[in-house]
Amino acid sequence: MAVLKVKFTKNKRDKLAQVLWIVNWISVVTGIILFSLGLFLKVEISKQQEIMPDRQLHMVPNMLIAVGLIACTINFLGGKICHDCVDIAKYLRWKLLMLPYIICTFFFTFCILVGALMCYGMRGELEESLLSGLRDAMRYYKDTDTPGRCFLKRTVDLLQIQFQCCGNNDFRDWFHIQWISNRYLDMSSKEVVHRLRSNVEGKYLVDSVPFSCCNPSSPRPCIQHQVTNSSAHFNYDYATEEPNLWRRGCRQALLEYFTQIMQSIGLTVIITWLFELSVLTGVRYLQTAMENVLRNGNPDSESDGWLLENSFVEMARSNFKIIKNLGKCNQIDISGSDDPNIDVPSSSFAHYGPGNLPTKQIPVYS
């Protein structure tokens, strides 16, 4: 009892083959789109690699790139097969390849779904990586003379300008770290010494922020030093007035940016998955219809197409039996003998050819 049987006339078969050819080519295009989206994501993550040092983040774009390439090849092959299915002679070329092709595509479709889920699940990893990466970047902001960290100042400044953010959670993070290097501090000055002494770890902390936190849209020239001191600036009240710095934290800004990218990529992958699923179903129907045509013998006759020849349970059972028998080939049957070194075949009597034929009764002619 076949699963979802459909009758196919010759006309219907040809139409199915042509439609599948077109859909396969559309899927090639979506495969290329997936590949380029994966590449774009890889580039974006690499651009921020100083802030997000986690190597594991590259798994998702690598997977997308691989899936995109495989989708292109599979669908290209599928298009060729479907194009040839219209003609019986050409179909015979592909006959043996079709079933393995369908099985491969089935597993590949499963991979695409996994890829889509990975896209949506990446957010947690991203957040963790950003938390530690940004904190370290801000800590090493002043170390422009240390090799390996000398460009962190530039990276953080450009990040804050580009993503319109300040600090990790907000601008007050800059008050808790020393972002002015000791090289530029006048240690002979009383004020500097006083500040250093008042701090437990001997850090020079100020309530100031770097210039990259300044918001150009603010109507007033940037107040970046003594931000919390209302009396230091004319007509300025820290409590009520909006400081003319960026209000968002960089972690939130980067997270939002990458989440948006991931969501659009995830959506594209799901659409690709739906396409692949429909292509798989169509090719399966085409394959079974063409096989039945060959069985009937007449290339123009009607034939049946189905998804599975027997029900799902029976198919699982038969596959399981095949796997069991594969294992059994190597086992020896010891039921009929005491000596385990003698292999006794499981059947009751041996088939040794014509000698076992039942004797024919010779007709007696009287």
Partner 1 sequence: MALMKVKFDLKKRVKLAQGLWLMYWLAVMAGILVFSMGLFFKIELRKRSEMMDNNESHFVPNLLILVGLMACGVNAFGGKICHDSLVPAKFAKWQPMLKFFLGGCVLFNALLFFTALLCFTMRIALQFTLAEGLKNSMKYYKDTDTPGRCFMKRTLDLTQIEFRCCGNNNYRDWFEIQWISNRYLDFSSSEVRDRVMSNVEGKYLVEGVPFSCCNPSSPRPCIQYQLTNNSAHYSYDHHTEELNIWMHGCKEALLSYYGGMMNTIGAMVLLVTILEVGVMVGLQYLRTSLETLANPDEPENESEGWLLEKSFKETIAEFMEKVKSLGKGAQVEAGEDGQEQAVATVS
Q: Distance between CA 149 and CA 138 in Å, rounded?
A: 11
Segment contacting partner 1 by CB under 8 A, of 153-161, 251-259, 271-279, 341-349: 153-161
CB of 162 to partner 1, least distance (A): 10
Please report, as residue ranges, which positions from 226 to 245 form the binding site for partner 1 (by CB under 8 A).
233-235
Indicate the residue among 234 and 352 with the shorter CB distance to partner 1: 234
Select from 201, 203, 156 the least CA-distant residue to 180: 203
DSSP secondary structure code for residue 299 in this structure: T
Indicate the residue among 90 and 154 with the shorter CB distance to partner 1: 154
Please report, as residue ranges, which positions from 234 to 293 form the binding site for partner 1 (by CB under 8 A).
234-235
Would you say 8 and 302 are in contact if contact means Cβ atoms under 8 Å apart?
Answer: yes
Q: For the purposes of burial, counting CB atoms within 10 Å of the CB of 290, is it exposed (0-12), middle (13-18) or buried (19 or more)?
A: buried
Tell me: does residue 179 bind partner 1 (CB under 8 A): yes
Indicate the residue among 191 and 339 with the shorter CB distance to partner 1: 191
CB of 3 to partner 1, least distance (A): 51
Tell me: does residue 110 bind partner 1 (CB under 8 A): no
Q: Which one of 3, 59, 104, 158 is in contact with partner 1 (CB under 8 A)?
A: 158
DSSP secondary structure code for residue 363 in this structure: P
CB of 180 to partner 1, least distance (A): 5
Would you say 119 and 266 are in contact if contact means Cβ atoms under 8 Å apart?
Answer: yes
Indicate the residue among 169 and 181 with the shorter CB distance to partner 1: 181
Radius of gyration of the chain measured on its C-alpha atoms:
36
CB of 216 to partner 1, least distance (A): 4
Tell me: does residue 196 bind partner 1 (CB under 8 A): no
Partner residues linked to 54 by β-bridges: none
Q: Which two three-digit tokens encode residue 349?
A: 């009597």
Tell me: does residue 193 bind partner 1 (CB under 8 A): no
Q: Distance between CA 245 and CA 310 in Å, rounded?
A: 69
Q: Distance between CA 65 and CA 115 in Å, rounded?
A: 10
Q: Distance between CA 321 and CA 318 in Å, rounded?
A: 5
Tell me: does residue 191 bind partner 1 (CB under 8 A): no
Would you say 1 and 311 are in contact if contact means Cβ atoms under 8 Å apart?
Answer: yes
Would you say 25 and 79 are in contact if contact means Cβ atoms under 8 Å apart?
Answer: yes
CB of 308 to partner 1, least distance (A): 51
# residues contacting partner 1 (CB under 8 A): 30
Select from 143, 138, 140, 139 the least CA-distant residue to 165: 138
Q: Distance between CA 33 and CA 365 in Å, rounded?
A: 85
Tell me: does residue 50 bind partner 1 (CB under 8 A): no
Partner residues linked to 145 by β-bridges: none
Q: Which one of 154, 176, 203, 247 is in contact with partner 1 (CB under 8 A)?
A: 154
CB of 189 to partner 1, least distance (A): 8
Q: Which one of 149, 153, 248, 284 is in contact with partner 1 (CB under 8 A)?
A: 153
Indicate the residue among 209 and 262 with the shorter CB distance to partner 1: 209
Please report, as residue ranges, which positions from 197 to 226 form the binding site for partner 1 (by CB under 8 A).
210-212, 214, 216-217, 219-222, 224
Q: Which one of 18, 49, 169, 181 is in contact with partner 1 (CB under 8 A)?
A: 181
- Which residues, other chains included, contact 351 with Cβ-Cβ below 8 Å and sequence gap of 6+? none
Tell me: does residue 178 bind partner 1 (CB under 8 A): no
Q: Which two three-digit tokens encode residue 9?
A: 């006339």
DSSP secondary structure code for residue 6 in this structure: E
Segment contacting partner 1 by CB under 8 A, of 109-117, 142-150, 273-281, 293-301: 142-150
Q: Which positions touch partner 1 (CB under 8 A)?
A: 144-145, 150, 153-154, 157-158, 161, 179-181, 183-186, 189, 210-212, 214, 216-217, 219-222, 224, 233-235
